[in-house]
Amino acid sequence: MSQGPKDERSPRRLTRRGFATGALAGAAALAGVPAAAADRSTAQPATVASGRYTTRAGAVCTPVPNRYDEPFEVCDDELFVFLVNYKPFEVEGFFDTVVGKQMKAAFPDIKFKVATWDQPVRYEELEKAGVVPDIIIDDPRRRIDRDLEPRGWLRDLSDELEPAGIDLGTLNPAAVEIIKSRSDGGVYGVPLFVDDYVLLYNKKIFDRFKVSVPQNGTTYDQAYRLAGRLTREEDLVAYKGYLQHPDLYLEFNQLGRYPFLPTGSESPKPEDIKVDITSADWQRLGSNLERFLFIPRNIFTSVDDFFTTGHVAMAVDTLWKFNAYALNETFIHADDREQYRELAKNVDLGVVSVPVLGGGDDATYQPNTIAAFLPPQSKKKEQALKVLKWLVSEEAQSGMAAHGMKPALESDAVVQAFGTKAPALQGIDTSGVFWGDNAVVHGYEQTEYWDIPLYMVFRQHVLRDGLSVKSALTITETKDIPAYIKGQAEAGLDW
- Comma-separated ranges of CATH 3.40.190.10 domains in the chain: 64-195+367-434, 197-365+446-490
Our measurement of the distance from residue 426's CA atom to the centroid of its chain's CA atoms, rounded to an integer in Å, reads: 25
The pLDDT value recorded for residue 10 is 37
User: Is the pLDDT confidence value at 91 over 60?
Assistant: yes
For residue 13, the tally of other CB atoms under 10 A from its CB is 12
**Overall fold of domain 197-365+446-490:** D-Maltodextrin-Binding Protein; domain 2 (3.40.190)
Q: Is the pLDDT of residue 181 over 50?
A: yes
Q: Tell me how far apart the alpha carbons of residues 4 and 1 are, in angstroms, rounded to a whole number.
A: 9
pLDDT number for residue 48? 42
pLDDT at 34: 36
Reply yes or no on whether the pLDDT at 23 is more than 80: no
- pLDDT for 266 equals 84
Query: What does the alpha-carbon distance between residue 375 and residue 156 come to, in Å, rounded to a whole number?
Result: 9
In the prediction, which pLDDT does 28 show?
A: 41
Mean pLDDT of the chain: 91
With bands split at pLDDT 50, 70 and 90, how would you rate the model's confidence at 267?
confident
pLDDT of residue 51: 84
pLDDT of res. 3: 35
Interatomic CA distance for residues 472 and 481, integer angstroms:
12
Distance CA 312, CA 317 (A): 13
Closest by CA to 399, choosing from 170, 146, 103, 199, is 103
Write down the pLDDT at residue 257.
98
Strand partners, 53: 61
Nearest to 285 by CA among 201, 222, 355: 355
Phi-psi domain of 143 (left: phi exceeds 0; alpha: psi -120 through 50; beta: other): alpha
pLDDT at residue 208 greater than cutoff 70: yes
- Per-residue pLDDT, averaged over 430-439, amounts to 98
CB 347, CB 306: distance < 8 Å: yes
Condensed to tens digits (0 to 9), the pLDDT of residues 305-322 reads 999 999 999 999 999 999
Q: How far apart are CA 454 and CA 476, in angstroms?
A: 7
Read off the pLDDT of each residue in 423-445 and give the average, rounded to a whole number. 97
- Measure Cα distances from 434 to 73, 158, 267, 404 in Å: 40, 28, 36, 12
The architecture CATH gives domain 64-195+367-434: 3-Layer(aba) Sandwich (3.40)
Mean pLDDT of 112-141: 98
Residue 25 scores a pLDDT above 50:
no
The mean per-residue pLDDT over the stretch 1-6 comes to: 36
What is the rounded average pLDDT of the residues 226-242? 98
pLDDT band at 31 (very low <50, low <70, confident <90, very high): very low
pLDDT the model gives residue 50: 58
Reported as a single tens digit per residue, the pLDDT across 4-21 is: 333 333 333 344 334 433
SS3 content of the chain, % helix, strand, coil (to 5): 40, 15, 45
Contact of 462 with 472, CB cutoff 8 Å: yes
CB of 391 closer than 8 Å to CB of 192: yes
pLDDT of residue 2: 34
pLDDT above 70 covers a percentage of the chain that reads: 90
More confident residue, 471 or 48: 471
Report, as an integer, the average pLDDT of 250-260: 98
CB 303 within 8 A of CB 245: yes
pLDDT of residue 4: 37
pLDDT in tens, 347-368: 999 999 999 999 999 999 999 9
Give the residue with greater pLDDT, 214 vs 25: 214
